Amino acid sequence: MKKAVLISLIALGMSACGDNSQNTTEPQAKPKSMLADQAQQTANATSEEVIVGRVKEVQLNDPLDPEMVARGKAIYEMKCAACHKLTDQRVVGPGFKGVTERRSPIWIMNMIVDPDAMLEKDPVAQELLKECLVRMPNQNLTEADARDVLEFMFFNDGKPVAEK
Ligand code: HEC
């Protein structure tokens, strides 16, 4: 494979990752119960997770905050939609469907606000880069912006929203 392809931003216009849903970083389908356990843990299970990046703690809402979801959606449309679909289809980067199940909230937050640190040190992020051949850019979101996008990702994955 030619190195030049790796750094070519022209890849932005092409399907750098294809839409190969059988990619190696996707976890094998797990029984529902395991997924539930995992979701329970992610909120406060930083003990096992090596945190790379500047976000060390994330407070989750259950049910979701509708205003955060709305703000997150607007940010997504402006700054992420060019590379990430809301389905599981890959474009430049992986589709966001299921992202809150395959990654922890802290991992997602750091991938958004501190992608360079993640790509330098986090093995999962590095594996994604190998597949996608494009670096996830730092979009200069504040932590509050990123938190809104995370809320929107949970919404996209079907988590219930509080009534206004
Ligand atoms: C220029 C294209 C591009 C833009 C714009 C972009 N990303 Fe990415 N993103 C990628 C690529 C490529 C990857 C996978 C390779 C990597 O990590 O470098 C990725 C990976 C991710 C991941 C990990 C996905 C997974 O399945 O684990 C998350 C989360 C993410 N991006 C969030 C965002 C958010 C939120 C925004 C908008 C604020 C955004 N990205 C904007 C290209 C982009």
Residue 23: its pLDDT value, please? 43
For 58-101, how does the pLDDT look when each residue is reduced to its tens digit (9 = 90+)?
999 999 999 999 999 999 999 999 999 999 999 999 999 999 99
Question: Which of 14-18, 107-111, 116-120, 141-145 has the weakest average pLDDT?
Answer: 14-18
Residue 47: its pLDDT value, please? 55
Q: In this model, does residue 116 exceed pLDDT 90? A: yes
CA distance 75 to 146: 9
Instruction: State if residue 108 touches ligand 1 by the CB under 6 angstroms criterion.
Output: yes
The mean pLDDT of the chain is 81
- In ligand 1, which atom is closest to the CA atom of 134? 12
Residue 58 in contact with residue 49, Cβ under 8 Å?
no
CA of 84 to the centre of ligand 1 (A): 7
Residue 49: its pLDDT value, please? 80
Most informative mutation of 83, 106, 138 for ligand 1 (most atoms within 8 A of CB): 83
Instruction: State if residue 78 touches ligand 1 by the CB under 6 angstroms criterion.
Output: no
Task: Kindly state the tokens that stand for 19.
Answer: 């839409």
Q: In this model, does residue 36 exceed pLDDT 60? A: no
Residue 149 in contact with residue 76, Cβ under 8 Å?
yes
Q: How far is CA 73 from the centre of its chain?
A: 14
Q: How many residues make up the chain in this entry? A: 164
- Tokens 């219930």 belong to 160
CA distance 41 to 101: 11
Residue 6: its pLDDT value, please? 37
Residue 54: its pLDDT value, please? 94
Mean pLDDT of 112-123: 96
